[in-house]
Amino acid sequence: MIIGALQKTSLIDYPGEVCAVVFTVGCNFRCPYCHNPELVTGSIKSMDRNCLFDFLKRRVGKLSAVSITGGEPTLHSDLADFIKEIRLLGYERIKLDTNGTNPKILEELIQERLVTYIAMDIKAPLDRYGVVTGYEHDTECIAKSIDIIKNSHMDYEFRTTVIDGFVGKEDVLSIADLIKGAKAYYIQRFIPSKTLNESFLSKRSISDEKLDEIRQKIGKMFDIFEVR
């Protein structure tokens, strides 16, 4: 496991919990709007594993959860063992952020009850994945991951980042049809800070008017639907 960074405390990454956030290095997507480009390209200096675990040991009882994000954590073959080590410290709540390209690993983590919450980013309708993410492989893995997560009987959410002229209203409506019946779907406004492609620094989220139109059309399709 290559660890790129640690956020020591977060009140927003695991709903209802105070958590640490572990960032893994490497991703098989090249989303131009990605706000963690150094994790995608591997240009960040890796964090010492012992330092991470020393910190987590000291925070047992003060932190209630650990969130693992990236990059894409499921690219690491030792992810399950890494989570087991964290759980042995006393952390019962583990959240995983994923792009859904490794359904087999997701299924194993769920079956072994190693994670308690999964957040899957759905970047675009399946027929636009190559355009939005640069991922030119079969998107059957995305659909399979959605199905696995929806039928997992655990806490989860799906989420999509919206960007004017790139991932818009019609894309979100198509995604909603793909995941209808899911527990929770969140629309995330794109806020430019760092981006993998610098040209995206000039882009913005879609308008509030369009977000309201989306809410009216699909809000009732999910137990929880919110715009972040």
| 85 close to 53: Cβ distance less than 8 angstroms | yes
For residues 115 and 117, what is the distance between their CA atoms, to the nearest angstrom? 6
pLDDT score recorded for residue 53: 97
> Which residue from 140, 135, 199 is spatially nearest to 165, judged by alpha carbons?
199
The residues spanned by each domain of the chain are: 3-227
pTM: 0.95
Dihedral (CA of 192, 26, 94, 107) sign: positive
Block residue for tokens 């995604």: 175
Residue 122's φ and ψ, nearest 5 degrees, are -105, 110
pLDDT score recorded for residue 148: 98
Q: Which long-range CB contacts under 8 A does 7-12 form with residues at least 24 apart?
A: 8/55, 8/59, 9/63, 10/67
Tens-digit pLDDT string for the chain (228 aa): 899 999 999 999 999 999 999 999 999 999 999 999 999 998 898 999 999 999 999 999 999 999 999 999 999 999 999 999 999 999 999 999 999 999 999 999 999 999 999 999 999 999 999 999 999 889 999 999 999 999 998 999 999 999 999 999 999 999 999 999 999 999 999 999 999 999 999 999 999 999 999 999 999 999 999 999
For residues 218 and 6, what is the distance between their CA atoms, to the nearest angstrom? 35
Give Cβ neighbours of residue 29 (< 8 Å, ≥ 6 apart).
40, 72, 99, 101, 123, 133, 134, 135
pLDDT score recorded for residue 136: 85
CATH code of the domain made up of 3-227: 3.20.20.70
